[in-house]
């Protein structure tokens, strides 16, 4: 039997290490089983990588299961971190060593895609798994009660929680409370590596002391957004028949969200196989009075039955307030292969097109999230919010004081203007921007432009409870939506409509 641990590697400005990788050495010290680590070692920081590998190997951790990537280690401070090497997708589900793995220990400071792939692997093979988190992000495919919260700062401070982690792993029978004495490595190496780890932990504790007495750490590129915060008036009146204040309506919305879980868990997410195919339109439907009217078949559907895709429009027109979707005059079924563009809206003066990818929307939770995302675009980009000289929703035409202009001013003004629209930038450029602002965004795609940032934030606002204890910018964006009483009321109505639709479908 073997144990796989997966955790990130971060450093402070003094190159003291942090992150979930610490759990690998801890695990190997307390078990006679083989211990593998999935992480991303930096091929650029040769000395630091060499020293770290040596320490892990001396504790009995097999580092051959990890990968070297051409990126520096992530930077960590007391209130911010960058992903850097940790965001790369390197997990290979068909690796030979995985055939012996019977237990997995995960932390949420690795790339979200790798996290999902490892978790999918564990579930598919019914492998006992423990998930530790410091609140870096909440994966869609994991319920909060499945994770062990060490802290909720959003900073990967796993090195400060070694004793707590050890006890949790003992309680779950992952490791023994006793030190594994007779491993195959020489004892002198064990002692030396143990001393090295203790030195690293001592330095980490020293950093905590430094932070508490107010020494300022390395200035980061995102320091200018530290003043951005939400100002929620929980007693603000809300015009809604079922709740009267922001606080009451927030709680009511959460109740509907919980009720919806009986039918569909909006956090559930299937494994995605990315395909590169040219975009193909299958069927165009005209929309009149919120109903599908004329049908134009362009190409035969490659999967499933047409009626099942028509149901997507039934959901959309049932759930979302009609006053915001009245300009939609076309509903389109298309595909560009799995894992690319899941859906899109095209908003112009003469009408709006809602298009859904037939391959990417066969999973109900994914479909609902995509519908919410696209409605977020429609809600935040009404064509009248743009100068009459523009036929589309180009950001250069956005009027002052509109939803999208305010979002840009509040949450994007601290970035260089060259990064306000990254639609045409290369993948490495996008990954670099996300890497430098990892606590500003939930997913890399959110960095595409202000519009996608708003739509993904809106989707989080609808589908999850408020991240009330976080000061990270991505969570502040969600919190800011609770400043608007009308939005809070809309959240209640949308979630209630989803519940009602599912109840009607069930009967």
Q: How far apart are CA 85 and CA 435, in angstroms?
A: 9
Q: How far apart are CA 385 and CA 309, in angstroms?
A: 31
Which pLDDT score is estimated for 447? Answer: 94
Cβ atoms of 240 and 249 closer than 8 Å = yes
Which pLDDT score is estimated for 273? Answer: 63
* pLDDT of 197 over the 60 cut: no
Which pLDDT score is estimated for 220? Answer: 37
Cβ atoms of 163 and 481 closer than 8 Å = no
Which pLDDT score is estimated for 203? Answer: 55
* pLDDT of 294 over the 70 cut: yes
Q: Give the other-Cβ count within 10 Å of 216's Cβ.
A: 10
Residue for token digits 């144990």? 3
| SS3 assignment, position 206 | helix
Which pLDDT score is estimated for 112? Answer: 81
Q: How far apart are CA 454 and CA 484, in angstroms?
A: 15
Binning pLDDT at 50, 70 and 90, where does residue 141 land? Answer: low
User: To the nearest whole percent, how much of the chain has pLDDT over 70?
Assistant: 89
Mean pLDDT for the chain? 88
The stretch 151-158 carries a mean pLDDT of: 89
Which string of DSSP letters, residue by residue, matches 185-254?
Answer: S-HHHHHHHHHHHHHHHHHHHHHHHHHHTT------TTGGGTT------TT-B---SS-SBHHHHHHHHH
Cβ partners under 8 Å of residue 72, min gap 6: 42, 44, 45, 84, 85
What is the β-pairing status of strands 10-11 and 17-18?
antiparallel
Lowest model confidence (mean pLDDT) among 88-102, 155-169, 200-214, 460-474: 200-214
More confident residue, 485 or 469: 485
Cβ atoms of 19 and 154 closer than 8 Å = no
User: Which long-range CB contacts under 8 A does 211-219 form with residues at least 24 apart?
Assistant: 211/78, 217/12, 217/13, 217/77, 217/78, 218/12, 218/13, 218/75, 218/77
Which pLDDT score is estimated for 329? Answer: 96
Which pLDDT score is estimated for 457? Answer: 98
Domains of the chain: 2-212 (3.40.1190), 223-266+397-507 (no CATH), 271-362 (no CATH)
Cβ atoms of 65 and 6 closer than 8 Å = no
The stretch 353-358 carries a mean pLDDT of: 96
pLDDT digits (tens, 9 = 90+) for 315-324: 999 999 999 9
Cβ partners under 8 Å of residue 327, min gap 6: 347, 351, 352, 378, 382, 383
pLDDT digits (tens, 9 = 90+) for 398-424: 999 999 999 999 999 999 988 999 988
The stretch 381-388 carries a mean pLDDT of: 95
Which pLDDT score is estimated for 185? Answer: 44
Binning pLDDT at 50, 70 and 90, where does residue 204 land? Answer: low
The stretch 370-384 carries a mean pLDDT of: 97
The stretch 110-116 carries a mean pLDDT of: 86
Among 318, 373, 366, which Cα is nearest to 493's? 318
* Phi, psi (rounded to 5 degrees) for 241: -70, -25
Burial class (CB in 10 A: 0-12, 13-18, 19+), 336: middle
The stretch 123-144 carries a mean pLDDT of: 85
Q: How far apart are CA 94 and CA 121, in angstroms?
A: 10
pTM: 0.68
* pLDDT of 219 over the 60 cut: no
Which pLDDT score is estimated for 94? Answer: 87
Which pLDDT score is estimated for 430? Answer: 83
Cβ atoms of 447 and 430 closer than 8 Å = yes
Binning pLDDT at 50, 70 and 90, where does residue 193 land? Answer: very low
CA atoms within 13 A on the CB side of 114: 24
Cβ atoms of 487 and 466 closer than 8 Å = no
More confident residue, 501 or 431: 501
């Amino acid at each position: 039997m073997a144990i796989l641990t997966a955790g990130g590697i971060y450093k402070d400005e003094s190159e003291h290490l942090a992150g979930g990788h610490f759990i690998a050495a801890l695990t190997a010290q307390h078990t006679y089983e083989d211990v593998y680590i999935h992480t991303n070692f930096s091929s650029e920081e040769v000395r630091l990588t060499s020293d770290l590998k040596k320490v892990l190997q001396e504790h009995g951790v097999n580092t051959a299961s990890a990968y070297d990537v051409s990126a520096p280690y992530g930077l960590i401070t007391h209130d911010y971190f960058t992903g850097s090497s940790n965001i790369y997708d390197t997990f290979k589900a068909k690796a030979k060593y995985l055939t012996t793995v019977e237990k997995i220990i995960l932390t949420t400071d690795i790339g979200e895609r790798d996290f999902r792939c490892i978790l999918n692997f564990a579930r598919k093979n019914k492998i006992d798994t423990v998930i530790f988190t410091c609140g870096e992000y909440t994966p869609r495919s994991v319920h909060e009660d499945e994770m062990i919260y060490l802290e909720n700062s959003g900073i990967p401070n796993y090195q400060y929680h070694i004793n707590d982690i050890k006890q949790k792993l003992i309680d779950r029978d992952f490791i023994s409370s006793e030190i594994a004495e007779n491993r195959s490595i020489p004892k002198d190496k064990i002692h030396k590596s143990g001393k090295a780890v203790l030195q690293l932990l001592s330095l980490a504790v020293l950093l905590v002391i430094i932070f508490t007495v107010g020494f300022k750490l390395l200035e980061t590129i995102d320091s200018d957004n530290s003043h951005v915060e939400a100002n929620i008036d929980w007693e603000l009146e809300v015009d809604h028949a079922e709740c009267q204040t922001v606080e009451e309506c927030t709680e009511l919305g959460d109740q509907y969200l919980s009720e919806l879980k009986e039918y569909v868990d909006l956090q559930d997410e299937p494994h995605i196989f990315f395909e590169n195919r040219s975009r193909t339109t299958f069927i165009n439907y005209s929309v009149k009075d919120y109903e599908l009217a004329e049908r134009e078949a362009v190409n035969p559907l490659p999967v499933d039955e047409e009626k099942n895709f028509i149901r997507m429009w039934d959901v959309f027109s049932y759930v979302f307030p009609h006053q915001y979707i009245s300009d939609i005059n076309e509903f389109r079924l298309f595909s560009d292969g799995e894992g690319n563009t899941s859906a899109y809206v095209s908003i112009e003066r003469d009408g709006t097109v809602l298009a859904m990818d037939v391959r990417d929307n066969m999973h109900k939770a994914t479909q609902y999230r995509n519908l919410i995302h696209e409605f977020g675009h429609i809600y935040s980009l009404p064509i009248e919010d743009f100068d009459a000289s523009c036929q589309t929703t180009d950001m250069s035409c956005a009027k002052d004081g509109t939803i999208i202009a305010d979002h840009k001013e509040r949450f994007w003004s601290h970035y260089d203007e060259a990064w306000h629209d990254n639609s045409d930038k290369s993948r490495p450029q996008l990954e670099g921007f996300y890497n430098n602002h990892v606590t500003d965004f939930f997913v890399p795609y959110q960095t595409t432009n202000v519009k996608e940032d708003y739509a993904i934030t809106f989707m989080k606002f609808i589908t999850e409870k408020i991240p009330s204890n976080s000061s990270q910018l991505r969570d502040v964006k969600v919190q800011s939506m609770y400043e608007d009483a009308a939005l809070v009321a809309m959240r209640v109505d949308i979630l209630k409509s989803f519940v009602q639709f599912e109840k009607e479908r069930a009967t």
